[in-house]
């Protein structure tokens, strides 16, 4: 609900409605109509708007010189308001009181943006003397120089150019919206993503960045891919899946940049790397840790498979796509990367499968490798090979090359032997692995069944405190 306007504004509205004192009061009434008094929204909608706002319009009311700062505005909105009025003295007082010169509203607009729009050269010079970011971009990608140029404020534009301001070439993204009100809630201001100095941003890969002081992993759509429909559709597909996935064992979506180029997807960052790197370093895991990890992977995949209206099939589950967080908990990542065609309610096929298969690993299910129709059981197959690797300490058919091992598994229907002696883990685990990598998809258990079975093994072994070669559980 919108906050109550200050008393003087309510009084002027009353006088406006009664027809009295049309000059000064009409200005204040117009101000009330055009500037939100809701501090939570933090959007500055007074005066000239961003030059790249598709619905921009001049909202400067009459009687501006007699307006005063509303009582309930926060410091950022006061700064922007005074900048729009050209009140250099008021702006300086706020800055001396500790207000950040680069503070922004909900649309990423700074006081420099506002002053440039209005042509308030004295305020612009003052803000620059306080080290305002001359190239700060708002949510539409506009800078103060772009705004000054658009509104014909030549003197302001020249001042900004003299201070090194760049005038970026603005391109609309394939996901750009026409109405600012339609900008997605997940939209991030690209100016808030700080990449390591010296790194090239436009690489089309994951990079580490800081967002509001927190490290995140950012996937960047290559600059040449914005005009490629297939690349854009793949970006949208991955974004749609990530934003709806919420589970402790699934990678957490942070936000995305879709209104500025390059488009980006940000997810949580995990400094402890991935399960693949961990296994290379540690080798064979202790049975209790292998089971715990297996349960966490199964819970994440079970959640994805239970998503409505359609299950999320990973298709490329492998240790490199399983991340470790600060507490050592596993999180499934890398899903949504494959373009799938729905064949029936529970069956899909790779879209342009021959192209996508080139990127697959030895954890790939045979039906995917052969470019056949498949279902969610392909992830169960991959899971079986991962559980095998955690117990044995090496990938299937090591030290053969991944390409050779994949052909042995998918084409020759061979399976690696379980070399670890049975006393190291229950026979039931071995049986579960063999069911998971069965060539026939219908024989593979679902992840909900896998969780039940592993839970029984894990709880009983934890209770006993050790593993026994005679240990065996009935599953039914």
Per-residue tens of pLDDT for the chain, all 476 residues: 434 443 333 333 333 333 333 333 233 323 333 343 344 457 787 788 887 776 565 554 444 444 555 666 788 899 999 999 999 999 999 999 999 999 998 888 999 999 999 999 999 999 999 999 999 988 877 899 999 988 889 999 999 999 999 876 666 788 888 776 788 889 998 878 888 754 444 444 678 899 988 999 999 888 778 778 888 888 998 999 999 899 999 999 999 999 888 899 999 988 888 999 999 999 899 888 999 999 999 999 999 999 988 889 999 999 999 999 878 899 999 898 888 888 888 899 988 755 455 456 789 999 999 989 999 999 999 999 999 999 999 999 999 998 999 999 999 999 999 876 555 677 889 999 999 999 999 999 999 999 999 999 888 776 666 544 434 443 33
Q: From CA 370, how far away is CA 354, in angstroms rounded?
A: 9
- In sequence order, the 6+-apart residues with CB closer than 8 A to the CB of 188 are 211, 254, 255, 256, 257, 264, 266
Q: 25: number of CA atoms within 13 Å, CB side? A: 14
Regarding whether 94 and 144 lie in a shared domain, the answer is: yes
**CATH code of the domain covering residue 135:** 1.25.40.20
Q: From CA 469, how far away is CA 331, in angstroms rounded?
A: 31
Last residue of a domain, one of 106, 131, 162: 162
Concatenate the DSSP letters of all residues of 224-286 into one string: GGTT-HHHHHHHHHHHHHHHH---TTBPPEEEEE-SSSSPEEEEE--TT-BHHHHHHHH-SPP
Alpha-carbon Rg for the chain in angstroms: 29
**89 inside domain:** yes
Regarding whether 392 and 440 lie in a shared domain, the answer is: yes
Q: From CA 366, how far away is CA 369, in angstroms rounded?
A: 5
**157 inside domain:** yes
11 in Cβ contact with 41 (< 8 Å) = no
Regarding whether 237 and 333 lie in a shared domain, the answer is: no
Regarding whether 132 and 194 lie in a shared domain, the answer is: no
pLDDT of residue 354: 53
**Number of structural domains, the chain?**
3
pLDDT of residue 437: 96
Regarding whether 200 and 133 lie in a shared domain, the answer is: no
DSSP helix/strand/coil, 12? helix
Last residue of a domain, one of 268, 295, 312: 268
Regarding whether 375 and 253 lie in a shared domain, the answer is: no
**346 inside domain:** yes
**171 inside domain:** no
- In sequence order, the 6+-apart residues with CB closer than 8 A to the CB of 242 are 251, 253, 265, 267, 336
Q: What angle do CA 248, 251, 255 make, to 5 degrees?
A: 115
pLDDT of residue 367: 94
**CATH code of the domain covering residue 217:** 3.30.200.20
268 in Cβ contact with 216 (< 8 Å) = yes
Closest residue by Cα to residue 316 from 265, 266, 363? 363
Query: Residue 69 is part of which domain span?
Result: 7-162
Regarding whether 96 and 116 lie in a shared domain, the answer is: yes
Regarding whether 132 and 44 lie in a shared domain, the answer is: yes
Terminal CA-CA length for the chain? 56
């Amino acid at each position: 609900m919108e906050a109550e306007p200050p008393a003087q504004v309510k009084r002027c509205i009353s006088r406006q409605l009664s027809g009295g004192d049309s000059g000064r009061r009409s200005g204040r009434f117009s101000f009330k109509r055009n500037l939100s008094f809701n501090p939570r929204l933090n959007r500055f909608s007074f005066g000239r708007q961003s030059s790249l706002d598709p619905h921009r319009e001049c909202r400067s009311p009459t009687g501006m010189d007699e307006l005063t700062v509303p009582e309930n505005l926060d410091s950022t909105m006061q700064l922007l308001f005074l900048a729009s009025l050209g009140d250099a003295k008021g702006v300086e007082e706020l800055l001396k009181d500790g207000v950040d010169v680069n503070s922004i509203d909900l649309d990423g607009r700074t006081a420099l943006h506002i002053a440039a729009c209005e042509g308030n050269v004295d305020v612009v010079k003052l803000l620059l003397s306080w080290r305002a970011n001359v190239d700060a971009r708002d949510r539409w990608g506009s800078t103060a120089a772009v705004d000054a140029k658009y509104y014909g404020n030549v003197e302001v534009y020249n001042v900004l150019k003299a201070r090194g301001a760049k005038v970026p070439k603005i391109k609309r993204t394939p996901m750009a919206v026409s109405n600012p009100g339609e900008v997605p809630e997940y939209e991030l201001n690209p100016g808030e993503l700080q990449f390591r100095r010296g790194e090239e941003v436009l690489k089309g890969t994951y990079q580490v960045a800081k967002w509001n002081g927190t490290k995140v992993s950012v996937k960047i759509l290559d600059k040449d891919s914005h005009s490629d429909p297939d690349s854009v559709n793949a970006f949208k597909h991955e974004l749609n899946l990530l934003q709806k996935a919420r589970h402790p064992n699934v990678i957490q979506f942070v936000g995305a940049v879709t209104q500025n180029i390059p488009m980006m997807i940000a997810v949580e960052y995990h400094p402890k790397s991935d399960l693949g790197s961990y296994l290379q370093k540690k080798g064979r895991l202790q049975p209790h840790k292998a089971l715990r990890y297996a349960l966490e992977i199964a819970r994440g995949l079970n959640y994805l498979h239970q998503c409505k209206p359609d299950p999320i099939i990973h298709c490329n589950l492998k240790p490199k796509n399983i991340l470790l967080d600060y507490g050592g908990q596993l999180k499934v990542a890398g899903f949504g990367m494959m373009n799938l065609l729905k064949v029936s309610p529970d069956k899909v096929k790779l879209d342009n499968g021959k192209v996508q298969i080139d990127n697959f690993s030895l954890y790939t299910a045979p039906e995917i490798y052969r470019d056949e129709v498949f279902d969610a059981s392909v992830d169960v197959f991959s899971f079986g090979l991962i559980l095998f690797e955690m117990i044995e300490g090496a990938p299937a058919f090591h030290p053969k090359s991944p390409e050779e091992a994949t052909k042995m598994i998918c084409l020759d229907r061979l399976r690696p032997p379980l070399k670890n002696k049975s006393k190291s883990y229950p026979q039931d685990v071995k049986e579960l692995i063999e069911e998971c990598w069965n060539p026939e998809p219908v024989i593979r258990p679902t992840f909900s069944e896998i969780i039940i079975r592993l839970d029984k093994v894990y709880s009983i072994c934890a209770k006993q405190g050790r593993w026994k070669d005679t240990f065996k559980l009935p599953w039914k």
